[in-house]
Amino acid sequence: MKLTGNTILITGGGSGIGRALAEALHAEGNEVIIASRRKEALDDTVAANPGMHAVVMDIDSQASIVTSAAMLKRRWPGLNVVLHNAGIMRPENLKSGDVSVAEAEITTNLLGPIRLTAALIEHLLQQPHAAILTVSSGLAFVPLSLTPTYCATKAAIHSWTQSLRYQLRDTCVQVTELIPPLVQTELMGKKHATNPAALPLADFIRQTMSILHARPDINEVLVEKVKPQRFAERGDYPAFYQAFNDRVTSE
């Protein structure tokens, strides 16, 4: 993916990693459109970044995705990059029998990117150069037992991204997966944004952009902090999984 001269749609672009990536890519000379359900967050981001655009889109709603995709194609016919960042992460007690969190996370984290890609793929295939970027997680490879469905959706996104990349291998559309480690955002509340065990957001963005500059054709963007999770299966995975979850549980 070339890093300048694109028209980029970023879901979940009003906060956290999505906003930070939107600002970094906007600074590179791209036309950036951020999407979210939260108009207030979108307005705040656009106000801080003159020239950035925003659309209200409910990633949980098939109807909203289809309507928004049609509008995006009309208003920005040069749209050639989609970054699937929107996601939710909630703790679950699997002993409770409650599936509400699981259903919400599957809808947002997995169905959202699948539906939005389906709504835009024909348009993207008509561009001279295009890209689809997904955001999975180190938790796709070593799940956190506290958030089982979130981890499962990210594992599914990793798998789906590989299939998408293979099916689009002879087209103009490049497929890249961003695999963040634990990053200081408010994904699980304000306390999460100051977690000393997490990578500061600015450091994650700086390292991610450096990788994309150095390797524009890269399939997986891996900052150093996430590599132990991404490649845990190469070592004693059961011990790594046990130690990882024991450590988090004790915090």
Query: Mean pLDDT across the chain, nearest whole number?
Result: 96
Closest among 104, 93, 169, 91 to 132, alpha carbons compared: 169
pLDDT at 249 over 90: no
Q: What is the pLDDT of residues 117-133, one digit of tens each?
A: 999 999 999 999 999 99
pLDDT at 188 over 90: no
Q: What is the pLDDT of residues 231-244, one digit of tens each?
A: 999 999 999 999 99
Domain ranges of the chain: 7-250
Architecture of domain 7-250 in CATH?
3-Layer(aba) Sandwich (3.40)
pLDDT at 195 over 90: no
150 is catalytic: yes
Tokens 């906060």 -> residue: 15
Given the residues 150, 166, 237, 241, the one annotated as active site = 150
What local confidence, expressed as pLDDT, does residue 56 receive? 97
pLDDT band at 192 (very low <50, low <70, confident <90, very high): confident
Q: Locate the DSSP E strands across the chain.
A: 7-11, 31-36, 53-56, 81-84, 130-135, 173-178, 220-221
Burial 133-149 (b: 16+ CB within 10 A, else e): bbbbbbbbbbbbebbbb
